[in-house]
Chain A
Amino acid sequence: MISLYRPGDSLLHRMPAGPKLVVVAGLATAISLLPANPLLLAAVLVAVAGCYLQAGTGIAEAGRQLWRLRWVLLVVSLSQVFFLPVLTVAANVIRVGAVVLLANLITLTTRTDRLIDALERALRPLRRVGVNSDRVALMLSMTITTIPVIAGFAARIREAQRARGVTVSPFAAVVPLLVMALKHADDLADALVARGAD
């Protein structure tokens, strides 16, 4: 779910990252605690869709995000469908989908540096107990940068397996993926030192 910032001038784009995070966290909590009432759940979906429209990304973007979430939503529903009423299962699926869509709206409308700055400021009080907020923020940024790189490694391994006529197996890919990821981590550490981040 690394759908990064889409430039824009909407209210959501202009809203400072810190308050936006607090509002979304509050909304996510409220949605999680919402009773399984079809009208309320429909209102949540309409509200989330409205947020996407307001942000200028369009409903299609929300649809794309939901499609990427399909396996998660399937697992959530399958794990409950035999034990809970259908309405409760549907409510849970809608809750998960709506919360993830809202969270995604933050990354779509907030530049990553502003988000990281906000997290850094939020973590600053924890310095007293030894948490280095600079490093946590840097680690988060690097995680966001590295995920597509690791995904690229996985694609390269799959291609190499196909090129050699080997059946593409996720298990056979684990060791080379680990080796490539560790090598990348090593190179990235060198780059951090070279760029004066030590």
Chain B
Amino acid sequence: MKDINDARENPFFRRQELIGLLIFAALILVVFPAFLDTFRLNLVGKYLTYAFVTVGLVICWGYGGILSLGQGIFFGLGGYCMAMFLKLEASSVANTKIQSTPGIPDFMDWNQLTALPWFWKPFHSLPASVIAVIVVPTAFAFVIGAAMFKRRVGGVYFAIITQAVALILSILIVGQQGYTGGINGITDLRTLLGWDIRTDHAKFILYFVNCLLLLGAILLTQYVTKSKLGRILVAMREKEDRVRFSGYSVADFKIFAFCFAAALSAVGGAMFTLQVGFMSPSFVGITPSIEMVIYTAVGGRMSILGSVYGALIVNFAKTTLSESFPELWLFGLGALFIAVVLVIPDGLAGMLSHYIAPYLGKLKPASDAVNGKSPLNQTPAE
């Protein structure tokens, strides 16, 4: 553990990190809005909602060593909570008068439901829905986490279980289509308290709301990594038993890391629903959950900003490759992933600190070069 700096050398931001964050903030708040048209900006906004998940994965996986292949669960639950509110608002009696039961969402009517199910009722209220966006996924993560970590289930077993839960949840949503919209998802969302979220102007505003929330999430995560808690997580990842024998409750810390990642993912999911205008079970299942892990791996699982860039770059590649080569793009994307894992296992951030930072260090005072070897750049021993 000699690499863990003590408090004096572990300020909230090292200079490099602060510069990195300022560059990133300038990029998303100034450069993108200035140079991208509304369509592209909205796409970037969509990518940035995945960044909430990857930032959470940095804590959970990078720091805590808990590989979760089920982050789509929380992204999806957060998104569904928001979608339920928006759907109820879009299903006013006036909008749905052609249905056999006006005033309930259209898919319920198609499935012969004649009244709103009880668990939909709280979503008439925006404050309740916003609370649900955070609380429902976090509570669910707590249940999974408590059930697993208290029994000392970890590593690959935990990853498999999260994957199974993701699959179960997506099957449940698809199967209960009268209550959830089934495989179509919850579509045709229109307004937020009367404010039309489909207009270009609204998308522009939502983009900035999303950016500010993401910057907030990054700061919060930065705080966690710099706190004693962050160091315990790293210690736990490296030698779980020693931490346990030192008197820490390993399970509680793991549950915290998992719930923290879940809460961030849920915020991302809610912002996704707002910006894209619908939610579907294809965000709950295994594929999106694994994709989120890939974004983090590409960006660098030990680097908060790296993981955000990972989400941006992979999704940007996905969009451009699929626009240019509609029949071949998946191969290109696959090659990209294989290349990243083979060439730069620590992701782009790892590449930066291994290959580029040393050269930068030579140009700068020696103290920065020393800081270049902080725990952020260490590869987890897995």
Q: Are the chains A and B members of one assembly?
A: no
